[in-house]
Chains A and B, each alone.
Chain A
């Protein structure tokens, strides 16, 4: 449904501090943007503003579908995934219970959750409590909902940071497939993304 994202003249402040202003960014189907910038430049805040979780000081975030502009509320609730530093996994539940909740909540099913486990090689971890997982394993569980509950716009906050080389390559393949299927990716990164992406510097 979302086939383009348009950010116009965005300004974001946290507390009294202005992070950036006059940020304009547009992104079409099949495109990826890598947000780069120093720590604290506002990459995470930009992702959260696109997701509607924080209100920008000025400017607009608009979602466009094939037939024109989409209501922002619907687009956010049905059309985007946000995977950030905090993965929302409850440490006392098993990896699969949490994965299944996240997948069902975002529109997937038991079958798609199992397929995603298979794809990401999570089957061995399914029965483990989340507290026993490593940072990279937790991130993989959180990323699984991206493919188990397909939504066109992925907002990723340093998605690769805790992953090892093999997992980075695998996730690169998944991102490629997502883009090839008309998806959109906005990722805040410090290392280069494993897919072709336009770099946008925040807070330059």
Chain B
């Protein structure tokens, strides 16, 4: 396990350090949330109706931003060779990378999600659930995004490719996450969609690393 913590610490340092880091995703999220009322119109009633859903779409898009560098930078500079020859299997290295991605991007975005939703006009009582759903969904976004990042290794314009691969796979968390908040707002059962969202994230965290490791091995060979 020591190899895992060594890698996790390095990934966190790389994400916090130069090259955008989490602030870029946060700024992007804020920009999307700001543009939305300009496009849709600022009537509070209309905005409030779509606020939770819009907050979720913004979250999904912002999660895509830093994915391109997740494996690509290690692939380009040869560090992926080193990761393949380390004490931990590549599957575990992929877990460390996605976990670091979640900590540095997913969690800060989850903090911002209720702020964005409330700013768009959602009721304040929805904020805690929005935060919780964004935090849980962020795990799914990170691990699912990691699969796209690993699959696009070595391709030109990998960032666009990641978006095309990953966005369709983001449909379930967007449906369940947005659904949970809408259900809560309407006084319906919100636990079921939240549990489905958790199931999606857990499944991605459990299965994703195998896909990522296989894609990395394929890219290296």
Contacts and interface: CB of A to CB of B under 8 A. Distances in A.
Contact of A51 (B81, B83, B89): B81
B3, B79, B82, B220, most chain A CB atoms within 10 A: B82
Given A101-B10, A105-B3, A105-B7, A87 B87 contact: no
B87 A107 contact: yes
B30 to A, nearest CB: 25
* Main DSSP-derived SS at the A contact region: loop
Contact of B86 (A86, A91, A106): A106
A38 to B, nearest CB: 23
A54 B6 contact: no
Contacts of A78: 87
A53 B79 CA distance: 13
A3 interface: no
Contacts of B86: 77, 105-106
Given A54-B221, A76-B85, A106-B86, A86 B77 contact: yes
A101 B85 contact: no
Interface residues of A, number: 29
B13 A97 contact: yes
A93 interface: yes
A93 B13 contact: yes
A152 to B, nearest CB: 13
A84 interface: yes
A90 B3 CA distance: 18
A106 B85 contact: yes
A107 B19 CA distance: 28
A90 B77 contact: yes
Interface in B74-120: 74, 76-87, 89
Nearest to A78: B87
B87 A82 contact: no
B14 to A, nearest CB: 6
Contacts of B221: 53-55
A105 B221 CA distance: 22
A88 interface: yes
A77 B81 contact: no
B45 interface: no
Contact of A105 (B77, B78, B82, B89): B82
B18 interface: yes
A53 B87 contact: no
A92 B77 contact: no
Given A54-B220, A77-B86, A106-B86, A84 B14 contact: no
Contacts of B19: 92
B17 interface: yes
B73 interface: yes
A54 to B, nearest CB: 4
B29 to A, nearest CB: 24
A84 B87 contact: no
B14 A93 contact: yes
Interface in B47-75: 73-74
Given A55-B221, A88-B74, A105-B3, A82 B85 contact: yes
Contacts of B7: 105
Contacts of A55: 221
Interface in A70-101: 76-78, 80-82, 84-93, 97, 101
Interface of A: 48, 51-55, 76-78, 80-82, 84-93, 97, 101-102, 104-107
Given A88-B78, A92-B17, 10 more contacts: A53-B81, A82-B81, A84-B81, A86-B76, A88-B77, A88-B81, A91-B77, A92-B19, A97-B13, A106-B85
